[in-house]
């Protein structure tokens, strides 16, 4: 079942990326520490998430992930890697703006 919420262990949600649509599931969740997810359905297997580390007056967010490609998709690995890095950078920039209350 796909849930309208994306916060919570085991919840499933949809993501649409340049690589195509994914059905994702939260594999780790502690709202003050970590959000981890994995592919249930999609063009490739993808696991990843965000770790939150409290710091004096701030929180450090670390993004992590791994993509498993099928044999034919290995040929596209460099292109996929560039697209993922670009997308993750944009997402982290948006998150930073939201957290810091900036208009973007």
* pLDDT of 104 higher than 70: no
Element spanning 55, H or E:
strand 45-55
Looking at every residue in the chain, the average pLDDT score rounds to: 82
Query: Which structure tokens are listed for 2?
Result: 């796909």
pLDDT 10s digits, 52-67: 898 898 888 888 888 8
User: What pLDDT does residue 72 have?
Assistant: 67
pLDDT in tens, 80-93: 777 777 877 887 78
- pLDDT digit string (tens) for 2-29? 666 778 899 998 988 877 899 999 999 9
Sign of torsion over alpha carbons 34, 95, 12, 3: positive
Residue 96 is predicted with a pLDDT of: 76
The whole-model pTM stands at 0.66
Q: Sign of torsion, CA 65 90 24 101? A: positive
């Amino acid at each position: 079942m796909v849930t309208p919420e994306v916060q919570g262990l085991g919840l499933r949600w949809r993501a649409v990326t340049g690589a195509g649509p994914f059905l994702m599931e939260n594999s780790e969740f502690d709202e003050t520490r970590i959000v981890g997810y994995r592919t249930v359905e999609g063009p490739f297997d993808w696991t990843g998430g965000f770790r939150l580390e409290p710091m004096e007056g701030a929180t450090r967010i670390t993004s992590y992930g791994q993509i498993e490609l099928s044999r034919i998709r290995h040929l596209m690995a460099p292109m996929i890697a560039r697209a993922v890095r670009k997308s993750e950078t944009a997402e982290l920039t948006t998150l930073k703006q939201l957290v810091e209350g900036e208009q973007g």
